[in-house]
Chains A and B, each alone.
Chain A
Amino acid sequence: MYPRWLWPAFAVPGVLWLILLFLVPFYAVIGVAFGGVDPIFMNAVPNWSPTDWQFDSIVTTLKGFLPGNQYWSVMIRTTVYVAIALAGSLLLGYPVAYYISRHAKKTKGILLALVVLPFWVSYMMRMLAWVNLFSPNGFINKFLVWSHIMTTPPDWLNGNPGSVVLGLIYGYIPYLILPLLAALDRIDRSVLEAARDLGASPASAFYHVTLPLSKPGILGASVIIALPMFGDYYTPNIVSGSPKTSMLGNQIDIFFHGGPQPSVGAALTLILSMFLAVLMAYYMVTIAKAQKELQA
């Protein structure tokens, strides 16, 4: 019906664009990471051919991740922040997603709209709002003093790791709830009813049926927010501003913008991507699978 070459022809411009502006840049990172450093100007001299690649920069950087060395604490801190933020997001987000998808009847539409809303509010706006509330004269402190819970409330926005974690949760939880909701929505109601019919108590039905069936959804949603969290540098900067709470993203940021050492920055980026590669692969496989299902 249509000539064979039509579809590739349609796709080629977009693919070309992505190759030039997505894949090639990744190669630039590799070239710089395995490149040398100009001794005079201290800029990076990228090595494009694999035969010229120098591995000392990346080896030195990798060594920095060993316990006790300079990146060890950042890595631990980042992982801990992300883990706690993820756990917190799930603890708050799962019940919300669960309620909306399985229980809310008349209010489902409104709740859905309200939950989707923050998704579309700019991340910066939400951080701004957060900072305004938690600033020394902000609403939170005023409330704490007024209600006599504390007389001198802490400075939330200065090197407070708790603020960073809470900020991460606040910032990313909408990106968790939506896919989680979508996944929970897909669980067949009749399966749960069958469990009840066969004698399971509400708790048992939840534990033995709903929870296992929502595992892929939980996993998927977790990956969706864990990935950007690992690369986050702006949240600690906004909510804390102190090197005490800096994450891996901050390190990379510093190496490019602080005292430029692009090859170290590139090496760090490469290492980070290796670390995240498993998550990214999982994410990609799930999307591809979902698209195949749509096609069938």
Chain B
Amino acid sequence: MSAITERGAVPGHFAEPTLGTKLRRLIANPWGHPRGLVIITWLYVVISIVPVVVAIQFSFNAGRSVTAWQGFDLTKWYFGDPAYSVWADPRLQHAFWQSMKLAGLDMVIATPLGVMLAIGLARWRGALANASNFIMLFPLVTPELMMGVSLFLVFLYIFKFIQPGTTAQVLGHVTFSLSYVVVIVRGRLFSIGKSYEEAAADLGATPWESLRLVLLPLLLPAVFSSLMMVFAISIDDFVISQWLSCGSACDTVPIRVYSSTRGAPLPSVNALAALMVYMTLSAIGIAWLVMRFSNRGERKAEGARGGMVQTMGGFDM
């Protein structure tokens, strides 16, 4: 453990610091001493992950309790139990498919729309372009409650031909997903730059050919990541889905889980939530791999971690 910048290197001085020295250092700067930080960090990691692991573990509980472990049963709550498993319980199963439906439609609509929006905004100049950029950024900073209320009211009083229900939910999902797609694709657009398309035009490609043969192939990794991102945020959405819901027929997994937590929940709820976790993590994992794999050839950027941190941190700053 070398933290040389904080402690200062004294060449040749390898004697173990005495207990007194260690204590003095710890008191002098509890935030700065690496050992304290290590403890806090790993403590945080444990606290934040262990509950989820436990919840997932209980989805494999042989008994009906979510607090008392009664043995391991792999499939009981997923599809084994004939009455209460996710597969068997109609409300749970329906919630699963509803979530999948919304996510699928969201992916299919928001991604192309968002990619086009990203390309357009990246290269359009002028006052209208700035205003459009502003409009695009707005959903990212808006608390979901406000979006939920406003969408609820708009379908009640203005776009009355759309009732609360799946259609309304899809429309709401796409609306908040668009901005995420734009941020992802725009980042990729900036790193691509315009030199490749200029080279294509220089070599005789028409504008259309430049887009099709050069820009689009280079954007593909970002498009794919956007798809996975939209999937993940759509599946996890609670507020918008709830406000635009038509009742239990429109319940998504987060809504189901929400309704069940205060009752006497069965491990089947854990199983349902766990399914979502598996799918989201897979989607994000694939997206990460694709980004990593495709970027490897192109530029000597920082490691994939740096890229990932900046990409996700990039939603905010």
- Candidate in B119, B128, B142, B258 with the most chain A CB atoms within 10 angstroms: B142
Asked if residues B5 and A124 are in contact (CB atoms below 8 Å), the reply is no
**Inter-subunit contact A11/B153 (CB<8 Å):** no
A227 to B315, CA, bound (A): 14
Tell me the chain B residues, 266-285 only, with Cβ under 8 Å from chain A.
269-270, 273-274, 276-277, 280-281, 284
Q: Is the interface of B mostly helix, strand, loop or mixed?
A: helix
Say yes or no: is A53 at the interface (Cβ < 8 Å to chain B). no
What are the residues of chain A within 8 A of B232 when measuring CB–CB? 120
Minimum CB–CB distance for B79 against chain A, Å:
19
Nearest residue (CB) in A for B270 is A128
Inter-chain CA distance A193–B4, complex, in Å, is 9
Indicate whether B143 reaches chain A with its CB closer than 8 angstroms. yes
Chain B residues with CB below 8 A from A284, complex form: 134, 137-138, 140-141
Question: A129 touching B31 by the CB < 8 A rule?
Answer: no
Interface centre among A3, A174, A287, by most chain B C-beta atoms within 10 angstroms, is A287
A182 and B310 within 8 A (CB): yes
Interface residues of A in 92-137 (CB under 8 A from B): 92-93, 95-96, 98-100, 103-105, 108-109, 111-112, 114-133, 135, 137
Chain B residues near A183: list those with CB within 8 A: 313, 317
Bound together, the chains give a CA A284 to CA B6 distance in angstroms of 35
Contact B44 A92 (CB under 8 A): yes
Partner of A122, one of B119, B157, B235: B235
In the bound assembly, the distance between CA atoms of A201 and B68 in angstroms comes to 51
Cross-chain contact A182 with B309 (CB below 8 angstroms):
yes
A15 pairs with B117, CB closer than 8 A: yes
Contact at A103–B37, with CB atoms within 8 Å? yes
Interface centre among A15, A109, A205, A283 (most CB of B within 10 A): A15
CA distance A124 to B154 in the complex (A): 27
Of the candidate stretches A26-34, A55-63, A64-72, A147-155, the one touching chain B is: A26-34
Q: Is B121 an interface residue (CB 8 A)?
A: yes
| Docked pose: A230 CA to B66 CA in angstroms | 31
Residues in B with CB closer than 8 Å to A224 are 316
Contact in complex: B154, A25 (CB < 8 Å): yes
Given that A256-B149, A287-B137 are contacting pairs, would A179 and B32 also be in contact in the complex, using a CB cutoff of 8 Å?
no
Q: Kindly provide the distance from the CB of A243 to the nearest chain B CB, expressed in whole angstroms.
A: 14
Cβ of B305 < 8 Å from any Cβ of A? yes
CA of A294 to CA of B269 in the docked complex: distance in angstroms? Answer: 43
- Which residues of the other chain, B, contact A120 by a CB distance below 8 angstroms? 232, 280-281, 284
Shortest Cβ distance from A232 into B: residue: B145
**Chain B min CB distance to A231 (Å):** 3
**A174 and B317 form a contact (CB under 8 A):** no
Residue on A with the closest CB to B137?
A284
Q: In the complex, what residues of A have CB within 8 A of residue B139's CB? A: 18, 22
CB-CB under 8 A for A125 and B273, given A23-B135, A95-B40, A294-B187? yes
Q: Can you list 13 contacts pairing A with B, beta carbon distance less than 8 Å? A: A115-B45, A120-B281, A121-B281, A128-B55, A132-B55, A202-B32, A217-B317, A230-B143, A252-B145, A266-B149, A269-B145, A284-B137, A287-B316
